[in-house]
Structure 1
């Protein structure tokens, strides 16, 4: 009896230790995510990038003599704080501004817009979906910019979520027709580049449309990037950047996903008219608008660098694997689980350092490491009782097959947990992942994302929850809301910023 009592006691102690470690990892992940979001707060980014002195506006070292009046337009999840900061800098030089911002962000913004502000804030795109309110804001922005003259300067503020907040379709297409097509395309598994290509070809302001409307006024665009590799033609679908895509390419994408044949006639006509019409090159020089200067003032590299620094305080050996994550969540979760398993095996002394490096290089072909050489160097420094932090960022996609409630980050966290369970990581090593959107909103939910971990599937048994059922129905929000009182959902509300998604994996003995 003593023997079994001892075994039972050891099991209870082991379970308690595991639970404590899980709780600690949960808190560390939330703190690391908070630090990443704080690093890309838009007010600070504007103050750091823009100066006004003796009638000259300086943007990242470039001087612009200002002639009154100056106007502001903006659209995106971060532009409220950007606009407040810019109004503080411009003072009396600012005549007026119009910004299109997400529904509810005025209440959650950390900085209040002054009562005497010259900037009109128009909320819309509830749950990150274009609507009549964001359409009205687009029309107001169009009305302002198309009446500017060459003596005027307009500062355009752009951040993630700009597409939903600037949904004005080309003439002849209704908003509902446009939204239905984009929804079908997204649900078919189209990536962000394909989605933006089609958006631009059926939109009036995207794809350089805003820059054309602003001509001949001087346009200065300040951008908080939410796309892979900071491509100007992709951020908010490139309203102040020349359009490198074509209607022919958009048609090919729609055919690829079997959507072209049943397309609304109004959209078909616009795409066909675009193909046959010639581009007006009056204000384009060397492939760029001659009256526009675009500046990236913030991106996800700033956010992940903050995680790198903070993780050291918690005693982790950290690896920045990639800032360009794309692809389908179902496949990505397998890659993340595989990478994690390799590090876990090393910590368990079942894999040599050389084998770890060899296996990691295999995964490099799937997720494209930021700097293969530096990752190898960091692995060389590892020792077997080290705590490991893997950092990745980007914007993967989900193929929607169910009718549930969730978002790509919640889907990734739960799918990762299931894949880890399949790989049977030993109980001596814990693996925990946080997957969250830096805007604080994951899909049409009130969560930024969720946390997954190596024993989650085992822990579901007590509540009779089947993770695979929820994954198949794309219902991960309801899974996490039910699982252990929702403590693995990450809820922080609108953050006022957006530099795509952050994925952090902690691996420790």
Structure 2
């Protein structure tokens, strides 16, 4: 081959893994840690990366006191910080109990104390503290409906804020009058701190009516008592509230950082790069079809230059549940792309979530190449039927296209790359 990519799947997988490594909390947290305060240092946090962030904090300071909530399987050994595992993406009793204990830990601190909050994607489900009149089962049912609706993460988080006692700046208010520094790893398009884990330490301006508008837009039906609870909700903390004046929020890793690292490595391999953006949202299958068409339109350009070209993108696609499959957005993106490419001989695609979990599946994502549909046909598998049933994970399990990493201990959203090789 006139270029150094001899194994496209291995090459694309290496780009994905490089995007994960550059966002490792052990690499990104320490530069943002302040000197120890005169008073107490209490570490709290929630998210898929929060335990690894806590590990980085103790590597810097030594043993610390505090409590961090992470997803089952994502815990790390810490000397002083208590690590609690709970459920994601749908909350459970372990998360609710741990959140209550977290609030208790920070409620008696003074102005000479420092709370260090470690927040990453997944924290919205892990920080579970329903408002009065709302049960854990109510929160579970609502989260299941939101996750199946096709709503983007920003809209889902607005609804969640108005049923919570910690989201929308309320955790920060609980820490007052202590100083509060929040270090965030972003998994949301646009890196809005108020949307990362539903912004527990960030002021919010959304209203109950905003939540109702989102529920109506995505045809999400709630019981009367939940609608009454949202209507009475005035819990979110305004950005200019006095209890937020001792708060600072800092993003330490974001999707753009990971895409830039992948672009650097691909450029070193003599590839041309086109970055489509790190904040792409929309229905996964529609984005896949669109990017596949773009890739095919660039084939003549690639043939002229003789250099492979890679389309890189990030963000968070969504899935509207239509069938009975698991419905991971990265796997759906790859399946829709493969169907549109229809066995194109020179185009390969990968999409995976940097946290190692695509939707509710313990699978990071999927790969498809020119041979994928032919292999499926030989084994009497229908890719279009799999897509219609939201069964992309099942499809790629059978064709050997799954990308499985296990817990990555970070979370900077989805990674997508389409490789176009010269004919």
* Higher helix content, 1 or 2: 1
Which of 223, 241, 252 is the matching residue for 1:297? 252
**CA distance in structure 2 between the partners assigned to 1:449 and 1:282 by the alignment:** 37
Deviations, residues 12-60 of structure 1 (Å, cap 9, x unaligned)? xxxxx9xxx99710000111111111000001101232253xxxx5xxx
Q: What is the SS of the residue equivalent to 1:392? A: strand
Structure 2 residue aligned with 1:360: none
CA 1:233–1:282 in 2, change beyond 3 Å: closer, same or farther? closer
1:271 aligned residue (230, 237, 254): 230
Superimposed CA distance per residue, residues 68-98 of structure 1 (whole angstroms, 9 cap, x where no aligned partner): 2110001011111211221232337x4x110
- The equivalent residue for 1:233 is 194
Residue 33 in 1 paired to residue 16 in 2?
yes
Q: Which residue of 1 aligns with 2:314?
A: 393
- Give 2:120's aligned residue: 159
Give the drift of 1:444.
2.1
**Aligned Cα RMSD in Å?**
2.1
Aligned residues: 420
Corresponding residue for residue 394 of structure 2: 478
**Do the aligned residues in 2 keep the contact of 1:233 with 1:244 (CA within 8 Å)?**
no
Q: What CA deviation, in whole Å up to 9, does each residue of 1:356-398 have, x standing for no partner?
A: xxxxxxxxxxxxxxxxxxxxxxxxxxx4311111111110101
**Alpha-carbon distance, 1:406 to partner:** 4.0
Instruction: Give 1:480 shift.
Output: 1.1
Q: CA deviation at 1:340?
A: 0.3
| C-alpha displacement of 1:184 | 1.6
Displacement after TM superposition at 1:467 (Å): 0.4
Which residue number in structure 2 is paired with residue 132 of structure 1?
93
> CA 1:281 to 1:461, structure 2 compared with 1: closer, same or farther past 3 Å?
closer
Is residue 145–residue 214 contact of structure 1 (8 Å, CA) maintained in 2?
yes
Cα separation, partners in 2 of 1:255 and 1:311, compared to 1, 3 Å: same
1:12 aligned residue: none
Deviation at 1:118, TM superposition (A): 1.3
The 2-side partners of 1:454 and 1:129 are apart by 36
| Structure 2 equivalent of residue 449 of structure 1 | 365
Distance apart, 1:335 and its partner CA: 1.0
Q: 1:87 & 1:503 partners in 2: Cα distance? A: 33
Q: Do the aligned residues in 2 keep the contact of 1:218 with 1:291 (CA within 8 Å)?
A: yes
Residues 504 and 279 of structure 1: is their aligned pair in 2 closer, same or farther, counting only changes over 3 Å? Answer: closer
> Residue deviations 1:100-136, cap 9 Å, x none?
0111123xxxxx524xx1111101115x331111112
1:185, 1:492 → 2: CA distance?
26
Structure-1 separation of matches of 2:240 and 2:106: 16
Question: Which one has the largest radius of gyration?
Answer: 1
Counterpart for residue 316 of structure 1: 271
CA distance, structure 2, for counterparts of residue 495 and residue 267 of structure 1: 36
Q: SS of the counterpart of 2:363?
A: coil
8 A Cα contact 2:291 2:337, kept in partner: yes
CA–CA distance in structure 2, aligned partners of residues 505 and 22 of structure 1: 14
Q: In the alignment, which residue of structure 2 is the partner of 1:404?
A: 325
Counterpart of 2:201 in 1: which secondary structure? coil
Q: Name the residue aligned to 1:436.
A: 352
TM-score by length of 2: 0.94
**Contact 1:438-1:501 at 8 Å conserved across structures:** yes
Partner of 1:98: 67
Quote the Cα distance in structure 2 between the aligned partners of 1:278 and 1:131. Answer: 22
Post-superposition CA distance 1:460-494 (Å, at most 9, x none): 221111001111111111111111xx2x2101100
1:500 correspondence with 2:410: no
Matches within 5 A, 1:11-90: 24-52=7-35, 57=36, 66-90=37-61
Deviation per residue, 1:329-356 (Å, 9 max, x gap) = 12111211111011113335xxxxxxxx
Structure 1 CA distance for aligned equivalents of residues 29 and 215 of structure 2: 38
Distance 1:187 1:81 in 2: 29
CA distance in 2, matches of 1:129, 1:278: 22
Distance verdict in 2 for CA 1:282–1:404, change over 3 Å: closer
Using the TM superposition, give the Cα deviation of residue 455 of structure 1 relative to its aligned residue in structure 2, in angstroms.
4.3
Contiguous gaps of at least 5 residues in structure 2:
none
Equivalent residues of 1:207, 1:241 under 8 A apart: yes
